[in-house]
Amino acid sequence: MESIPRRFEPTSAERISNPPIEPPGGAPPLSVRTIAGSLATPKVRRSLSRILRGNVLASMATAGPRGQAHIHTAYFAYQPDLTLYFYSYPNSRHARYLHRHSSMAVAIFDSTQVWGRSDRGLQLFGRCRPARGKAVRAASDAYGRRFPGFRRWVRSLERVDGRFGLEPFRFTPRQLVLFDERVFGSGVFVRIALPSSRTRTTGRSVRRSRSRREIR
């Protein structure tokens, strides 16, 4: 087994501030499995709703022009069809990457979960692009509903800088992986393929069953 490079070894202070966490009468599963799921399933929608409502930060992974990985964290808002919105400065690295290549992955989870207990989290895979047209207003409305101080913050920046300066981005997931051990069992990942954004907004079959698919 390779030895840990010295620069990555924890200092004595780090060992004291990060003591081992003992699971309260449990441990992570010995094996995991992936099953297919559907947004039409009530317990899937309830689990997604709890994760989205219970977390405001998401880790977002993008790729550079030569394939180099990048990740950032942002506050997000969402719509019932699982479209996510966030704001970033146009000159940030992830914003520049997204202008060139729209592929993005998102992870949403509660970082206060305890090792050994039942875990819950969500991964989303899809396309992210700068919001344009009606999506600009949709991003502002979704953000304003989730973060009551958002519009006041926008006005203060406009007063000080003469403009808001941040750009809204719209993320449309194509696939998600849901992990909720209390609902689906220990070590079970639920993989769900999502319809395209056009189908979700204009498809006839989706219009008939939208109330069963939306996440509140």
d(CA 65, CA 186): 39
Q: What is the pTM of this model?
A: 0.80
* Domains, in order of start, for the chain: 33-213 (2.30.110.10)
Query: What are the CA-CA distances from residue 79 to residues 5, 56, 187, 193, 197 (Å)?
Result: 45, 13, 28, 18, 12
Outline where DSSP puts E strands in the chain: 33-36, 57-63, 69-75, 77-78, 84-88, 103-109, 120-130, 167-180, 188-193
Instruction: Say which residues have a Cβ less than 8 Å from residue 92's Cβ, sequence separation at least 6.
Output: 72
Whether the Cβ atoms of residue 88 and residue 130 lie closer than 8 Å to each other: no
Per-residue pLDDT of the chain (216 residues; tens, 9 = 90+): 444 444 444 555 545 555 555 555 566 666 889 999 999 999 999 999 999 999 999 999 999 988 889 999 999 999 999 999 999 999 999 999 999 999 999 999 999 999 889 999 999 999 999 999 999 999 999 999 999 999 999 999 888 888 888 899 999 999 999 999 999 999 999 999 998 754 444 344 434 345 446 777
One-letter amino acid identity for 205?
A: S
